[in-house]
Structure 1
Amino acid sequence: MTVKKKTGKSATATGADLKEFRKTNEAIGLRVSEGRLSLLSRKIFNVMVYHAQRIRNKGENAPIDSEVAKNYYWIPLSELARDAAYDSRDTELFKEQVQELQNIRIFSEDAIQWTSERLVSSVKLVNPRGLKKQGGMLWFGFAFPPEVESMVMAPGSYTKLSVYYQALLRSGASLALYEICRRYATNPSRVTNRAEWEWWYGALTGNPVGESIPEYKYFKRDVLKYAITEINMVTDINVELIEHKQGRRVASLQFKVTPAQQESLALSAPPVIDGELVKRMMALGLSQEDACNLLATTEDGKLRATLDLTEARLRNPKAAKVTSPAGYFKQALRDGYASNTDIARKNVQKIENKPSVEASINAIRERYIVERAKDAMNLYEELEAQEKAEWMERFKESESAKGMNLARGLASATARSAFSHWFATQQWPEPTDSDLLAFAAVSSMQGK
């Protein structure tokens, strides 16, 4: 069986790797009137924009044959998860996130019009085999409201952004500031717009207009410094804060933007948002945004050890009742309640934590089946036209093709994927343990 080698991590970032998309300048620095833009929602929305511009046509790759499906853009959920650096196994948290996107109302205003609209109008999760059944591919469908659709698909003035760089950023404020500053990287002045610091607070945090805001010194300490440091460390630009004062008070801000010195950065795996840790922190009463920010800024071992300590404290019937679990957890993090021994143990557990034998075998089996499907497709392509037509008719009558739109044959990715897996089962029996062992050995030798 043919096994292709993976690209090494030392590969440099090419245009395809960066996955660039055009984001209209009107959608950069949007002010939210309802809902809240978190790190995850920002990333997911940008990935949706990237794929909509890539696909172009609604209904393309639709996993179900219906008129409604033709009104959506469709991508495998695994692709969205990968591009947003999201733990795709946690579909419940994902559902909450896309619902949050639908709850966000934005407004924009220029010289002749004022617009208030939802960011996303409709989303769908579809598995042709059934949402509750094992196997099959989970598809994500999405649609934009008219005004947003126009900005996404036909932006007038726009900024080129990269899915790759956004995946490296681990706070919502960092991503928001990066988008704004990236817009000015090619501007002759290389200085952003000047605005009151309160405007910057709303634009970077994603908090709705009208919500109470902290003093500037706390905004600078907790939001600006971290965002600037992170952007300068991992992206293709460097950012410098410019403060404008009225007397002794900081009144407005700008940012100086310069391209990073390196022409291309080494590709590495972006940090994956651990859905399970986020859920545990949210169960204490933290918002999703706070949980993600703590995940991004706290050593993994310390975070896990402090979570364990807090949860044990809440379960202790003999201890005094904790009135604010979230407050207790934050104080425990700040004051170092967890011992160095516990933190070290958590770090060691993460390093030594290996999947179970059963999980490893299942992972090898899945990879084997994927590779076998590729081989099956190559075999099919070598057949004569008459044989191809006969196999296609047999496929249409099979359970694997049930509910699938095959009007264009195997033109769509969905149809090709389903057919290749089905055709493989018609050519070869189920893999034996020996087959899997041999495949794993070859994969290991070839660096897969």
Structure 2
Amino acid sequence: MATRKSKARSDALTTLESGDLKQFRKTNEAIGLRVVEGNLSLLSRKVFNVMMYHAQEMKEPGLNAPINTPAAKKYFWIPLSDLARDAAYDSKDVQYLKRQLEDMQNIKLLMENERQWTSERLVSSVTLVNPEGFNKHSGQVWFGFAFPPEVHEQVMAPSTYTRLSIVYQSSLKSGSALALYEICRRYATNPSKLTFIQSYEHWYGVITGNPISAEAPPVYKYFKRDTIKPAIAEINALTDINIELVEHKNGRRVEKLQFRVEQNKQPQLEFPAPPVIDVELIGRIMKFGFSQTDASDLAAQYQDDVIRAAISRVEIRAESTSMSPLGTPAGYFRWTLQDIARNPSSLLLSAPKTISKKNPAGPSVMEKFLAARAQDALAVYKELDEKEHKQIFDAFKAQNLNKSIKLDKGIESAMVRSLFSTWYAKELWGEPTAQALAQFIEQFQPAA
């Protein structure tokens, strides 16, 4: 997890009384919502929880209505500034917030029990009102919202529920962490300390907020690496519970998952959260092929300077006319983030193993440069998904059909791996330049 999150925690910790935690009751049916249409982003999850909290505090709609109309009496009303504060939305971009509120109306849920099956929207209506004029800079902007019937009943009179806190939800910076936190928090007081067991495909749906009936989830190892592990790290560092992944295997294949949950005994804490959304930064990440949810989660995991450096590197590579087109900017961006986070001073390469001065017959500088570049290219390749692996390796095979080497085993073969990584490095970065070689010598060659 990025150090800025830990620093924010250590810089301004303030012990709270339990009454300051802004707790609300969330029905267990609404935890791990079964989304069949639309997508639950980080901000929409937080806004929905804030709406629940304030609705339960007010107990009935119509209070604080800023305008005197029959319809206004059917809304719950809070100042827009309260919504922004409680959802940790520090951006001034009201248009982005409005789009998020509209998207919440497009989220379709299925709710089912022994007696009833219901298909319903998450939110039925949202409105912003400024009694002095909506486009004026003066006056108070109010946020009004209403739930559809079944959701309203579950919000206002939940039969079985889990107590959650606005404080802890505000500290989390990724939608997957918030979703997993809510699920696991439900089991913190359970005697078994274990969540339910379900297929990893099911967990992918409830953690990411993507419709379970949509396209197949990624290969498990990528889901674990890109979603589960970062979410666990966030939860354990920033909330009142610690969780641990439990894998259930059939042979060597992981088929089902659950989580072990322990409640922290430390005092309940609140700390100021950094901005939840940097709209400009999220937009630049999305241009590489990421969804808004994935882009937001990546922005949560890395410091801003690392993200901006990675974006610049990928943009420069994608715009290069002297190299082949960059076919997988998303995978290249993920690798670049990890490369910069591991070695902030590195602009292109990872450090190769140092050659002993006592062995003057070692590899030349150019050979070490090419070997290091090939290692980096292989690391980029490993960040891609199976579909991208196949596309790239097929291109490699097409250009190496006449080579007297068997390609059937792919990069499992050391000889193929060496040939492939050198080829892919050239595909990514083109022919070695004098500038790149000079930079390599300056960074990684031992001083004379």
The letter for the 2-side match of 1:226 is P
Aligned length, in residue pairs: 335
For 1:140, the aligned partner's letter is: F
Contact kept in structure 2, 1:184 and 1:190, CA below 8 Å: yes
Identity percentage of aligned residues: 55
Q: Please point out which of 244, 250, 256 is paired with 1:252.
A: 256
* Aligned position for 2:305: 301
Q: Give the equivalent residue in structure 1 for 2:232.
A: 228
Q: Is 1:239 the counterpart of 2:243 in the alignment? A: yes
Give the SS at the match of 1:170: coil
- Cα pair 1:37 1:207 within 8 Å, conserved: yes
Cα contact 2:66–2:131 (8 A) shared by 1: yes
**1:228–1:239 CA contact under 8 A, matched in 2:** yes
- Kindly report which structure 2 residues correspond to 1:116-265, keeping only aligned pairs within 5 A, or say none: 116-211=119-214, 212-265=216-269
Distance change (3 Å), C-alpha of 1:334 and 1:259: closer
Instruction: Report how far residue 194 of structure 1 moved.
Output: 1.6
- Give, in whole Å, the separation in 1 of the partners of 2:47 and 2:310: 29
Structure-2 residue corresponding to 1:68: 71
**TM-superposition CA deviations, 1:221-273 (whole Å, max 9, x none):** 221111112111111111122222222222222211111131323x2102321
Query: 1:35, 1:208 within 8 Å by CA — same for their partners in 2?
Result: yes
1:310–1:91 Cα change, 3 Å: farther
Letter in 1 for 2:261: V
Q: What CA distance in whole angstroms lies between the structure 1 residues aligned with 2:67 and 2:137?
A: 18
CA contact (8 A) 2:173 2:297 kept: yes
108, 111, 136: which is aligned to 2:111? 108
CA distance in 2: counterparts of 1:284 and 1:133, whole angstroms: 37
The DSSP-based 3-state class of the residue aligned with 1:69 is helix
Q: Which residue of 1 aligns with 2:61?
A: 58
- Select the residue among 20, 25, 43 that pairs with 2:23: 20
Contact 1:306 1:337 in 2 (8 A): no
Name the SS of the counterpart of 2:296 in structure 1: helix
CA 1:62–1:195: 2 relative to 1, 3 Å: same
Contact 1:87 1:275 in 2 (8 A): no
- The one-character-per-residue Cα deviations of 1:349-394 (angstroms, maximum 9, x if unpaired) are xxxxxxxxxxxxxxxxxxxxxxxxxxxxxxxxxxxxxxxxxxxxxx
SS in 2 for 1:50: helix
Give the aligned CA root-mean-square deviation in angstroms. 2.6
Secondary structure in structure 2 of the residue aligned to 1:277: helix
TM-score, scaled relative to structure 1: 0.69
Note the alpha carbon deviations across 1:281-339, whole angstroms, 9 max, x for none.
33554321122111111121111233345556677899877667656644543554999
Evaluate the alpha carbon distance shift between residue 238 and residue 282 of structure 1 in structure 2; reply closer, same or farther with a 3 A threshold.
same
TM-score, with normalisation over the residues of structure 2? 0.69
Which secondary structure does the structure 2 equivalent of 1:214 belong to? coil
Q: Distance in 1 between matches of 2:266 and 2:335?
A: 40
User: Counterparts of 1:318 and 1:132 in 2: how far apart (Å)?
Assistant: 49
Output the CA distance in 2 between the equivalents of 1:322 and 1:307: 14
Compute the displacement of 1:41 (Å): 1.0
Does the Cα contact within 8 Å between 2:28 and 2:160 map onto a contact in 1? yes
Return the alpha-carbon distance in structure 1 between the equivalents of residues 91 and 74 of structure 2: 24
Task: Say whether the 8 Å CA contact 1:34–1:105 is kept in structure 2.
Answer: yes
Mapped partners of 1:59, 1:52: distance in 2 = 11
Range with bigger deviation, 103-112 or 321-330: 321-330
Unaligned runs of 5+ in 1: 1-7, 344-448
Partner of 1:42: 45
- The Cα of 1:156 is off from its aligned counterpart by 0.3
Deviates more, 1:316-325 or 1:123-132: 316-325
2:224 maps to a residue whose letter is: K
**What do the CA deviations read for 1:392-439 (whole angstroms, capped 9, x no partner)?**
xxxxxxxxxxxxxxxxxxxxxxxxxxxxxxxxxxxxxxxxxxxxxxxx
Are the counterparts in 2 of residues 38 and 172 from structure 1 also a CA contact under 8 Å?
Answer: yes
Which one has more relative contact order, counting CA pairs under 8 Å at least 6 apart?
A: 1
Counterpart residue number, 1:80: 83
Aligned to 1:353: none
Q: What is the rounded CA distance, in whole Å, between the counterparts of 1:228 and 1:339 in structure 2?
A: 24
Contact preservation (8 Å) 2:248, 2:256: yes
Q: Is the 8 A contact 2:42 2:173 kept in 1?
A: yes
Which consecutive residues of structure 2, in runs of 5 or more, have no partner in the other structure? Answer: 1-10, 348-448
Mapped to 1, the partners of 2:345 and 2:190 lie a distance apart of: 51
Work out whether residues 23 and 161 of structure 1, in 8 Å CA contact, stay in contact via their aligned partners in 2: yes
Counterpart in 1 of 2:292? 288
Specify whether residues 89 and 312 from structure 1 end up closer, same or farther in structure 2 by C-alpha distance, changes over 3 A only. farther
